[in-house]
Amino acid sequence: MSGEWWPAILAFVGAAVGSGASFYAARRDTQAQSAAAADDLVQRERASAREEWGRRFTAALADITADDSFRRRELGRIVLVELASSGLAAPEERELAESVLTADARLDPDGDEVDLGRRGMLVDDVLVVEDDGDEAPERSRA
């Protein structure tokens, strides 16, 4: 009689081991699919954010170059400054925004290039000339 139980016990142990292995494999596959879906979602969100950065960059660039309103140009510059420091942009995009801002700083409202002085020039060396409409302009040191 004791010999009749061994096949049943071994069958039960085999079924338990098979069920455990099957559960483990299914769980691992589900976790891998979940991780892949999460990575895909992160990539889509990042791509969407970068597209939005590009759209805002283009709009700000249009504001500072094509608009006649001083206020609108100034707001475009502010947006560019924020975009240049944004974590959504790649380093190349940040450099592009900074280059645009630097180039814009060199131009006066009429589009003429402003002389920024020589390299290494100190602020104390700058001579400010105020034009009040008189024949002889008043000179002062800044």
Q: Has residue 109 been placed in a domain? A: yes
With 70 as the cut, is the pLDDT of residue 120 above it? no
Using the structure block, give the residue that is written with the tokens 């180039």.
103
Banded model confidence at residue 2, pLDDT cuts 50, 70, 90: low
Domain that holds residue 73: 2-115
Q: Has residue 123 been placed in a domain? A: no
Using the structure block, give the residue that is written with the tokens 């450099």.
95
Is the model more confident about 125 or about 96? 96
When divided into structural domains, the chain yields a total of 1
Q: Has residue 137 been placed in a domain? A: no
Q: How much is the average pLDDT of 100-123? A: 69
| pTM of the full structure | 0.52
Q: Has residue 22 been placed in a domain? A: yes
Banded model confidence at residue 28, pLDDT cuts 50, 70, 90: very high
Predicted local confidence at residue 108, as pLDDT: 65
